[in-house]
A and B are shown apart, each in its own frame.
Chain A
Amino acid sequence: MSTAQPAPAREPAWSLSRSAISLWVAQGVVATVVEALVVAALIVFVPSDAGVWTVLVRWVAPVVVLVTAVVDIGVQPRLRYRVHRWEVTADAVYTLTGWLNRTWTLVPISRIQTVDVNRGLVQQLFGLATVAVLTASSQGTVRIPHLEVEVARRVAEDLARRAEQVRDEAT
């Protein structure tokens, strides 16, 4: 990483649940298994006299799978955990997401329209939930991924209540 350049925005205060790392690792493992199966199938079905294709399938594809496995399982979850942060301030919801590319999202509580709590299949295994804060803009949605279920529920309730109190036109 280059270090000289300052970030364009402040870092939100709070980090996610540590279970998020396990979840990302699990996702990486699943993706790797699927990729490995596809490559294995290709190795079986592509004949050995197909020239360039044989080389691609037998040597290049496994290497690619191996590299992505290392990145997806070993590097990306920890890096993501270091980057991902969130915060609810007195008048706004603020998140930072991504790992290579980063996105800071800020939505004032007065412009919140609805607050959802979503629990995906894998998230349920790790006791996590995502809080989605929706505004009048299709692009102005804040998602706080992978919070502990209890935390997510409390945050959502709190935000919905406060939005009700301070809402102006919300558009």
Chain B
Amino acid sequence: MSDPAAPPVQRTSRWVLLLHTITFRQARALVPAVLGLGAARGFDGGTVTVVVLVVGVTLLSLLWATLSWWRFSYAVGESSVVVTRGLLSRSVRTVPLDRVRGVEVEAPALHRLFGLVRLKVDAAAGSVGATGEELVVDGVTRAEGDRLRALLLVARLPPARGRHAASAELDPDVPQDHDEVVTRFDPRWLLYSPLVGGYLAVPLAAFGALFRLLEEVPDRFVPDLDRPGLPDGTLAALVLAGGLVLLVGGSVAGSAVVNWRFRLVRRGGSLIATRGLVTRRHTELEIDRIRGCTVSQGVGMRLVGAARASALVTGLGDAARRGQLLPLGPQDQAWALADRLVEPTGPLRRHPAAARRRSVVRGVVPGVLVLVAGVALTALAGWWPLLVTGAVLTALGVPLGLARHAATGHATGPRSFAVRSGWLVREHVVLQRRAVVGWQVSQSFFQRRGGLATVLACVGAGSGGYAARDMAADEAADFARAASGSWADTLSPAR
């Protein structure tokens, strides 16, 4: 900024028009309407109708993109950033620079073709969660993106470094002298992907989309495949093996696309994560705002000793994705990272025997309900499969309950505390004492009989609350006191 008194109003790059026209960014909303219209009138007009439609929609898209581009402007001033937009109603949004919590620079594949980037600005908000709090500047040149990032984050730099140092910061992908690399993704870690639910879903979703597409294809285009002359057993085995290979390959590929060349570096007071094969993402987290860490491990990941680590940061939108410090890797690495950011607590305290009983009861109840229904059906209609299902579910409920209980625990350290829960995905959360903005102790009717209580630490980061379920009721107040501060003494029962 050359003139601090009146910051120049700026527009995004013109190339973004082309970009948005091709991707139908604004016109996407029209597609269902057009399809509906087409379905009502019938698409039997042949090629002419289709061409007219395509040209029409493209023109509309171009028009819309132009209008939005024309009405969109931004200005970064000495103390705030102002974004003006809106087709009919004008919306002017002013965000003070000291409320900017983070800036994400994104370069999707098409953007890269034109040398453009997309900036997402996180502005601090009371209750985290709404994506509406985010400011997006879509389609500026790479250099302008970096300049903006530096300007927006200037408010957080120590005064000694000043503005020049800030604007001198370059492309985040290019390492700098004072960077300290915290984590570098080892491609071998991709082999963990098939054991992670989220990545397994990638090939499954692709299959789903493919099959839906196949159903749309008119019959005359579908090749008439003869059944190969193989015995049924072999065919089934082949299909199964093929599916398995595709599933494993797909999940590895999906995970590679997202996590490609993941790198976490420390630069000044921030942690910067870069990753992605097609869309290169760059997220900056302020270390000062980190309140805790989670290390989560699914069933499969526990088998091979893999884990995922995320930071809990106040005022960070879309925290589950942006807070990731290690998307996938060996658990030692995940723990080293977590311990570095939040002081480790001692070993976890297990919850009492009453909690184990309760956990087993909770595991068994659904099975018992099915069992009762099965007994009724067998007696009334002689239909027994439900009875067997119920018995199996009931039997499985016992180990499930035990495993869930084994996963729970809590601990307090000198400056931090931890809670752990979950069997399908085990989540170990370590939080700083200062993270706690409130306590919620709850006791259901049954918990009261068992002398148990659930203690929820309310935190202005991550999911908003982290619970230690079924701890001994008489430990609740002491835990809260040890995990936050003297103000929590209010909870202590008079003794």
Contact = CB atoms under 8 A, between A and B. Distances in A.
Interface stretch (B28-36, B102-110, B448-456): B448-456
- Grouping DSSP codes into helix (H, G, I), strand (E, B) and loop, the A interface class, with mixed when no group exceeds half, is loop
Interface stretch (B17-25, B124-132, B148-156, B325-333): B124-132
B437 A171 contact: yes
A100 interface: yes
B437 A135 contact: yes
A102 B442 contact: yes
Nearest to B474: A6
B477 A8 contact: yes
Interface string A11-31: 000000000000000000000
A104 B487 contact: no
B460 interface: yes
A91 interface: yes
Given A9-B477, A139-B458, A134 B442 contact: no
A140 B456 CA distance: 9
Contacts of B176: none
Interface string B358-399: 000000000000000000000000000000000000000000
A108 B458 CA distance: 11
A135 B127 CA distance: 8
Contact of B491 (A6, A9, A138, A139): A9
Contacts of B445: 100-101
B249 interface: no
- Grouping DSSP codes into helix (H, G, I), strand (E, B) and loop, the B interface class, with mixed when no group exceeds half, is mixed
Interface in B436-495: 437-445, 448-451, 453, 455-456, 458-461, 463-465, 473-474, 476-477, 480, 485, 487-488, 490-494
Nearest to B480: A106
Interface in B261-298: 289, 291
A136 interface: yes
Contacts of B460: 135-137, 140, 170-171
B476 to A, nearest CB: 4
Interface in A47-67: none
B391 to A, nearest CB: 27
Interface in A93-139: 94, 98, 100-108, 110-111, 113-114, 134-139
Contacts of A154: none
Contacts of A9: 441, 476-477, 491-493
B441 A134 contact: no
Given A10-B491, A104-B440, A111-B437, 5 more contacts: A9-B491, A100-B445, A105-B440, A106-B491, A139-B440
Interface of B: 126-129, 289, 291, 314-315, 437-445, 448-451, 453, 455-456, 458-461, 463-465, 473-474, 476-477, 480, 485, 487-488, 490-494
